[in-house]
């Protein structure tokens, strides 16, 4: 992702546009791998798939808003930003699922782990290099409380086995 960002900056000579396109590519990769993961959850059981799918809808909606915001902030026209955000956040997940479905039983745990690790790296790069510095510029009084609440919820979920 770092090199994608640098190549786009070099090609376009527009720092903001490079930021938007890099985020678009990263979210697209993330959503594609999400599709593979969700296909695997249905192979475990229908109930696990439905529960995960419910989370997917909420997750993809928020992801679409973030993608739109990043693209719009990078200087893209509002209508184009909506279109690209929809295509990236909403359609790459089902594409990943449809492509993965015929092969899902042949995917090893280690290959899935590598894919998830790569996606994690993409999201960490985007967060650390672009989103967190931007969020710091527009910090609100409730930012720390929301962050701590999210961390607390993650710890609770992890420890409770929910």
User: Which pLDDT does position 123 carry in this prediction?
Assistant: 64
Instruction: Report CA-CA distances (Å) from 39 to 18, 21, 52, 103.
Output: 32, 27, 10, 10
User: Which pLDDT does position 129 carry in this prediction?
Assistant: 65
- 3 state SS of 110: helix
User: Which pLDDT does position 37 carry in this prediction?
Assistant: 76
User: Which pLDDT does position 100 carry in this prediction?
Assistant: 81
pTM: 0.63
Helices and strands: H and E segment counts in the chain: 8, 0
| Tokens found for residue 125 | 């790069």
Non-local (6+) Cβ contacts of 92 within 8 A are: 28, 31, 32, 34, 35
| DSSP, res 138 | T
The angle formed by the CA atoms of residues 23, 29 and 31, to the nearest 5 degrees, is 100
More confident site: 112 or 94: 94
Q: State yes or no: pLDDT of 40 exceeds 80.
A: no
Please, are residues 31 and 95 in contact by the beta-carbon 8 Å criterion? no
Give percent of the chain above pLDDT 70: 85
Going from N- to C-terminal start, the domains of the chain cover 2-160
Kind plus residue range of the DSSP H or E element containing 113: helix 109-126
Average pLDDT rounded to a whole number, residues 121-126 = 68
- CA dihedral of 107, 110, 115, 117, whole degrees rounded to 10: 160
Instruction: Report CA-CA distances (Å) from 80 to 17, 92, 108, 138.
Output: 13, 17, 38, 25
By mean pLDDT, which of 72-81, 111-120, 148-157 is the weakest?
111-120
DSSP character string of 36-83: HHHHHHHHH-HHHHHHHHHHHHHHHHHHHHHHHHHHHHTT--HHHHHH
* Alpha-carbon span 71 to 95, nearest angstrom: 22
């Amino acid at each position: 992702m770092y090199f994608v960002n640098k190549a786009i900056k070099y090609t376009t000579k527009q720092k903001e546009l490079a930021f938007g396109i890099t985020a678009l590519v990263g979210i697209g990769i993330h959503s594609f791998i999400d599709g593979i993961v969700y296909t695997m959850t249905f192979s475990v059981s229908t109930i696990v798939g439905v529960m995960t799918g419910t989370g997917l809808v909420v997750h993809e909606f928020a992801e679409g808003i973030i993608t739109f915001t990043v693209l719009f902030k990078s200087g893209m026209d509002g209508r184009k930003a909506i279109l690209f955000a929809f295509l990236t956040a909403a359609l790459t997940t089902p594409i990943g699922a449809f492509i993965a479905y015929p092969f899902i039983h042949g995917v090893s745990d280690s290959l899935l782990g590598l894919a998830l690790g790569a996606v994690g790296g993409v999201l960490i790069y985007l967060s650390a290099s672009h989103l967190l510095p931007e969020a710091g510029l527009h910090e609100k009084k409730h930012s720390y409380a929301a962050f701590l609440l999210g961390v607390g919820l993650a710890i609770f979920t992890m420890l409770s086995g929910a």
